[in-house]
Amino acid sequence: MAKTPRVGEPAPDFELPGTQGTFRLSDHRGERVVLLFYPGDNTMVCTKQFCSYRDRADDFAALGATVVGISSQDLASHEGFTAKHSLNVPLLADVDKRVASAYSAYSPRLGTKRAAVVIDEQGIVRHRHDHLLGLDYQTVDELKATLGALPTAAAPPPAATPPTPPPAASPPPAATG
C-alpha cells in the first residue's frame, strides 16, 4: 500500500505540543519543514540519530529548514530526553498517534515508525523516506542533499510598474526657403 501523503500531495496540517512550545505545521508556510518520525525517546537508534544532529549543530542549522522530531511519547518524556542529551531538535508529542497515522508512519504492531518527510514552502510533500526496519536514519548530509535537490521557492512576481510612455514625437524639421 502506498504511503500517504505521496510526493506532490499537500501535507496534512496538524498541531502538537513540543519541547519548544506548540507547533502547528500551517504556521510554517513559506519555510521548508522536515518531519522526523521516530520510534522512541532514549532508545539506541533514536538517541544516536538525535545526538548526531546535536554533534553537527552548525551543519544542521545550515539546512535552511525547520526540523522537528515526532514520536508517541508524552512531553515529559521528550523534555527528559532533550535534557539528558542536550538535543537541538524540537520534539513533538503525538501521544494519540494521529499525526503519525496521517503520514503513514504508524503501525499498530510497531508503533511510530522511522520516516523523514520534507515539505516545501507551499505545504507540498517533496520527499519522503520510510525506513523499513528503523535501524538507520537520515543523516545531516542526507538531509542536506535532499533539501539541496529541491527547487527553490518561486520568487514573488515583481511589483507592477506603470508603463513608460512612448517618447514624444520630434517636430518636423523647419522648411528652408
148: its cell numbers: 539541496
54 neighbors 62 (Cβ within 8 angstroms): no
100 neighbors 112 (Cβ within 8 angstroms): yes
Question: 34, 36, 46, 119: which is the annotated catalytic residue?
Answer: 46
Nearest to 36 by CA among 14, 66, 59: 66
- Res. 133: pLDDT tops 50: yes
Alpha helical stretches, state H, the chain: 44-55, 57-61, 75-85, 98-102, 140-149
- Res. 136: pLDDT tops 80: no
46 is catalytic: yes
pLDDT digits (tens, 9 = 90+) for 154-170: 544 444 445 555 555 55
- Res. 109: pLDDT tops 90: no
SS3 content of the chain, % helix, strand, coil (to 5): 25, 20, 50
45 neighbors 137 (Cβ within 8 angstroms): yes
pTM of the model as a whole: 0.81
User: What pLDDT was estimated at residue 156?
Assistant: 44
User: What pLDDT was estimated at residue 134?
Assistant: 62
Domains of the chain and any CATH numbers: 28-149 (3.40.30.10)
pLDDT > 90: what percent of the chain? 59
